[in-house]
Amino acid sequence: MELNKNILQVPYSLIRELTEKAQKKENAIMLTIGEPDLQPPKELIDYGCQYAQTHALPYTQSGGSEHLRSLVAKHYNKYYGSDINANNVTMHIGSMEGISSVFRTILNIDDEVIIPTPFFSPYEQAVKLSYGKPVFLDTRDDHLVLKPENIEKVITNKTKAILFSNPGNPSGYMLKKEEMDELVKYFEKKDIFVIADEIYSAISFYPFTSFASYPSIKDKVIVLNGFSKSHSMTGWRIGYSIAPEEVRKYLVNASFNNVGSMVSLSCAIAEYALENYPVIESFRDIYKERAFFLAKELNDLGFDVIEPRGAFYLFVGYSKFSNEPSLDFSMRLLDNTGVAVVPGIAFGSENYFRIALTQDIPLLKEAAKKIKEFITK
């Protein structure tokens, strides 16, 4: 029997491929996967255990309880200057389910979604598996800064949405306030959804501004966020979206028909986290130290490192050293040095590779040393 035409074209993840190859290598330095090495506060786990011992853990309300959703709304209002309430919030099985369910809610067949490149690779599949068309927008000439004049070049009357992460994965860049203001002025005039993946908001090296904080576009902004990066709770699968109420009432149905229910215990821990650990500054500080350290090392070597302003990645241009495709360059780097990075092509952008800053400084120092040997050889 013939399978879905879109799923047949989903490639095997390059990130997984590189990681698996690296795992077979002795003493490899793994800088591939965006899995936080920092552990969540022990109190969160303790609370979860205590909760599980004293409560039934049934199906949750679709899209999460009103209590949890109102805590999320208050959190965004307090820290990120939005003006939302529980009726704007939907809990998700991580922000990836959020993205999947959002596209099931807003896309019709052949609707176009603009995705600035480099981009978090599942975005492309999320659009295609909902029968939408990803339209890629290369931002390399602007040092990965998204600009209205470039969106204008690819927007059409079939454009339903634009989707990007800020702070950016894989770029490590976070838009400056004035860059956001310009974008918002542009979005005000356009009849498209602005989907901002803000999953790295808590890991911002400068004050973070949310797209949810602009009243002038609040009828078209859909924000994604969650606890995977802010609280290192990746395996708990707990994220959320913020959407206009008119969208949210359908989004809840899309999510329900996609996954049935949230994870009860993860919701309980999320409530506790929002009330007791709303911000974990040490995570941000540690990633920042790593980012600034390694960016300087690599810039000093002659690499073109995108300015790290948030998230836990460096996106590194290597044009000075090689014209190779990024897959070849990354494979050669791995083979010669044991340093495993992800080729830019995995994110739609050649001539770069991505480093995940999920290792301690001493290991990053060693990686820098090996990369230096590699390029001077």
Is 146 strand, coil or helix?
A: coil
Could you give the CA distance from residue 220 to residue 337 in angstroms, rounded to a whole number? 47
Please tell me whether residue 377 binds its own copies under the rule CB under 8 A. Answer: no
The stretch among 56-64, 140-148, 173-181, 325-333 that binds its own copies (CB under 8 A) is: 56-64
The least CB distance from residue 65 to its own copies, in Å, is 12
The stretch among 107-115, 133-141, 179-187, 327-335 that binds its own copies (CB under 8 A) is: 107-115
The least CB distance from residue 297 to its own copies, in Å, is 27
Could you give the CA distance from residue 161 to residue 74 in angstroms, rounded to a whole number? 26
Restricted to residues 289-348, the positions that interact with its own copies (CB under 8 A) are none
Could you give the CA distance from residue 303 to residue 315 in angstroms, rounded to a whole number? 10
Contact between 238 and 224 (Cβ < 8 Å):
no
Q: For its own copies, which is the closer residue by CB, 136 or 250?
A: 250
Please tell me whether residue 93 binds its own copies under the rule CB under 8 A. Answer: yes
Please tell me whether residue 247 binds its own copies under the rule CB under 8 A. Answer: yes
Restricted to residues 207-226, the positions that interact with its own copies (CB under 8 A) are 220
The stretch among 46-54, 136-144, 174-182, 278-286 that binds its own copies (CB under 8 A) is: 46-54
Please tell me whether residue 166 binds its own copies under the rule CB under 8 A. Answer: no
Question: Which two structure tokens, joined as six digits, stand for 278?
Answer: 């709303």
Q: For its own copies, which is the closer residue by CB, 2 or 281?
A: 2
Please tell me whether residue 23 binds its own copies under the rule CB under 8 A. Answer: no
Peptide bond before residue 207 is cis, with ω within 30 degrees of 0: no
Among 131, 136, 293, 374, binds its own copies (CB under 8 A): 131
Is 134 strand, coil or helix?
A: strand
Among 184, 192, 327, 341, binds its own copies (CB under 8 A): 192
Q: For its own copies, which is the closer residue by CB, 299 or 359?
A: 359
Among 24, 27, 53, 362, binds its own copies (CB under 8 A): 53
Please tell me whether residue 7 binds its own copies under the rule CB under 8 A. Answer: yes
Restricted to residues 251-290, the positions that interact with its own copies (CB under 8 A) are 253-254, 256-266
Residue 100's identity, in one-letter code, is: S
Helices H / strands E in the chain, number of each: 12, 13
Please tell me whether residue 110 binds its own copies under the rule CB under 8 A. Answer: no
Please tell me whether residue 45 binds its own copies under the rule CB under 8 A. Answer: yes
Please tell me whether residue 43 binds its own copies under the rule CB under 8 A. Answer: no
- Residue of 216, 182, 370, 215 whose CA lies nearest to 294: 370
CA 259, 263, 266, 270 torsion-angle sign: positive
The least CB distance from residue 329 to its own copies, in Å, is 26
With vertex at residue 375, the alpha carbon angle to CA 322 and CA 35, rounded to the nearest 5 degrees, is 90
- Binding-site size, its own copies (CB under 8 A): 67
Please tell me whether residue 79 binds its own copies under the rule CB under 8 A. Answer: no
CA distances 257 to 5, 69, 104, 129, Å, are 22, 19, 10, 16
The stretch among 42-50, 76-84, 309-317, 337-345 that binds its own copies (CB under 8 A) is: 42-50
Contact between 13 and 347 (Cβ < 8 Å):
no
Please tell me whether residue 109 binds its own copies under the rule CB under 8 A. Answer: yes
Contact partners, residue 166, CB within 8 Å, separation at least 6: 174, 175, 196, 197, 198, 200, 211, 310
Contact partners, residue 112, CB within 8 Å, separation at least 6: 132, 133, 134, 135, 156, 158, 159, 160
Contact between 255 and 63 (Cβ < 8 Å):
yes
Could you give the CA distance from residue 280 to residue 203 in angstroms, rounded to a whole number? 9
Q: For its own copies, which is the closer residue by CB, 56 or 156?
A: 56
Q: For its own copies, which is the closer residue by CB, 78 or 158?
A: 158
Please report, as ranges, the residues that interact with its own copies according to CB under 8 A: 1-5, 7-8, 10, 13, 16, 33, 35, 39, 45-46, 48-49, 52-53, 56-60, 62, 93-94, 96-97, 100, 104-109, 122, 125-126, 129-131, 160, 191-193, 220, 233-237, 247, 250, 253-254, 256-266
